[in-house]
Amino acid sequence: MHQVEIATTRESLLDAPEMTLNMGPQHPSTHGVLRVILKLDGETVMDLDCDIGYLHRGMEKIAENRMYTMIAPYWDRLDYIAAVSNGLVWVETVEQMMGLDVPPRAHYLRTILTELNRIASHLLWLGTHALDIGAITILLWAFREREEILKIFERQFGARLTCHAWRVGGMPNDAYDEFESDVRQFINNFPKRIDEYETVLSENRIWLSRTVGIGVISGEDAIALGLSGPALRGSGVAWDIRKSRPYAAYGEMDFEIPLGENGDTYDRYLVRMEELRQSRRIIQQAIDNLPDGPVNAKVPKLIKPPVGDYYHSIEGPKGEIGCYLVSDGTQQPWRVRVRPPCFINLQSLRKLCIGHLVADVVAIIGTLDIVLGEIDR
């Protein structure tokens, strides 16, 4: 409402046209190839439109022409920051459709590795978000810890970014020999590091004035827009698929969900920082109770889910990442549809940004934690 008033008075008094500013697709802080078309009055955002699709690869269509096992690597390329979590939703969908009984050790390893991936993804978010707001050092500190996680991934999966971590029915191989000690070492050092980040940011006057009250969205609006993940929990809506529809070994874990009060950028920041701590807690429990046994179910030679459709979703680092799969009983799916958290979270950008300044647009894109690989698919 406030903004509309500005528009009318300015237009009537000065007849000044708005300035259209193209932000992206080549821009340092649109987190990839997002193009934001801003209508500006001075530096105030009057209107905004997102142009996406610069990274479109037709993942869902490709999946229709591939066998079930061949589709899994494509999922790594959706949200390439969180390839492990993305891969999990695909294999779990197929497993559940086929009724495979995945052994508990595989479930526990999946829990540990997806939580590590959540930490890695949140660290990348923290670094880039702080970088967008101007604190450069945090980026490199966050990458220091992320590197430890990527080293674990490299030893476990053979790749750092696009891991291709899972197979239908379990894991490609058991955890490597020093897996437990590596993970323990990481989670023992990690709390100190989180405190370090918080020392630099949480109480910082400039950080507070840049994030408090910026990009406010109420819980009702967040639900109406379909937000999920930390963006939703920052507005105080208690929704976490790890709790409400537990998958892998989350049903046996003891952890809490952080909820914000005001739904602004600062709350989303605090929620994610707390999620780092909770993730660490989950890993600690999982590694303490890691059962022995096989890591693979008995999987038929040919993967042919029964005819029908199925939806499964998990709590990815950015929100609810889901897979809707329609099978016609052959070796290839008839239709695959991704429920992309970033794509849906990005829809709130216009609502969050209008009335703020250009600098806040960058902060809000950062706080939504988008990855263009998943938005464009």
Partner 1 sequence: MLFALLAAPTLIDTLLLKFFSEQTVNYVIWPFIQIGLVTVITTGWVAYATYLERKISAFMQARLGPMRVGPWGLLQPIADGIKLLTKEDFIPENADRWIFFVAPYIAVVAAFVVMAVVPFGPDWAVITDVNIGVLFVLAVSSVGVLALILAGWSSNSKYALMGALRSSAQMVSYEVSMGMAIIGALMFARTLSLSGVVEAQASDSIWFFFYQPVGFVIFVISGIAENNRAPFDLPEAESELVAGFHTEYSGFRWSLFFMAEYAAMVVVTAVATTLYLGGWYFPFVYKLEVAGYHNLYVAVSVIVFLTKCGLLLYLYFWLRWTLPRFRYDQLMDLGWKWMLPAALINIVVTAIGVVVIQGLHNPTGMRTIKSLAGGLGLTLTGKAIAIAFGFGNLFITAGVLSLINWRSRDFNLKKQRHKIRLVDLPKGKPAVAPIAAASE
Query: Hey, is 339 helix, strand or coil?
Result: strand
Q: Please list, in sequence order, all residues whose beta carbon lies within 8 angstroms of the beta carbon of residue 93, skipping any fewer than 6 positions away.
A: 310, 311, 312, 323, 325
Residues 124-183 that bind partner 1 (CB under 8 A): 130-137, 140-141, 144
Q: Which of 77, 245, 304, 337 binds partner 1 (CB under 8 A)?
A: 245
Q: Which of 274, 315, 369, 374 binds partner 1 (CB under 8 A)?
A: 274
CB-based burial label for 355 (10 Å; 0-12, 13-18, 19+): middle
Residue type, 47: D
Q: What is the DSSP string of 296-309?
A: B----SS--PPSEE
In the complex, least distance from residue 57 CB atom to partner 1, rounded to whole angstroms: 27
Q: Is 206 a residue that touches partner 1 (CB under 8 A)? A: yes
Q: Which of 25, 73, 246, 294 binds partner 1 (CB under 8 A)?
A: 246
Residues in the chain, total: 377
Residues 25-84 that bind partner 1 (CB under 8 A): 27-29, 43
Which of 259, 306, 289, 321 has its CA nearest to residue 118? 321
In the complex, least distance from residue 77 CB atom to partner 1, rounded to whole angstroms: 26
Instruction: State the DSSP code for 167.
Output: B
Residues 293-312 that bind partner 1 (CB under 8 A): 305-310
Q: Is 238 a residue that touches partner 1 (CB under 8 A)? A: yes
In the complex, least distance from residue 197 CB atom to partner 1, rounded to whole angstroms: 13
In the complex, least distance from residue 35 CB atom to partner 1, rounded to whole angstroms: 14
CA distance 361 to 36: 9
In the complex, least distance from residue 30 CB atom to partner 1, rounded to whole angstroms: 10
Q: What is the DSSP string of 15-77?
A: -PPPEEEEE-SS-TTSTTT-EEEEEEETTEEEEEEEE--TT---HHHHHHTS-HHHHHHHHHT
Query: Which x/- pattern, by CB under 8 A, does the window 339-358 give for partner 1?
Result: ------------------xx
Q: Kindly tell me which of 60 and 309 has the beta carbon lying closer to partner 1.
A: 309
Q: Of 75-83, 183-191, 221-229, 267-275, which part binds partner 1 (CB under 8 A)?
A: 267-275
Q: Is 109 a residue that touches partner 1 (CB under 8 A)? A: no
Size of the site for partner 1 (CB under 8 A): 78
Instruction: For residue 125, give both structure tokens.
Output: 């978010």
Instruction: State the DSSP code for 250.
Output: G
Instruction: For residue 143, give both structure tokens.
Output: 């990458």
In the complex, least distance from residue 253 CB atom to partner 1, rounded to whole angstroms: 9
Q: Of 80-88, 102-110, 180-188, 315-323, which part binds partner 1 (CB under 8 A)?
A: 102-110
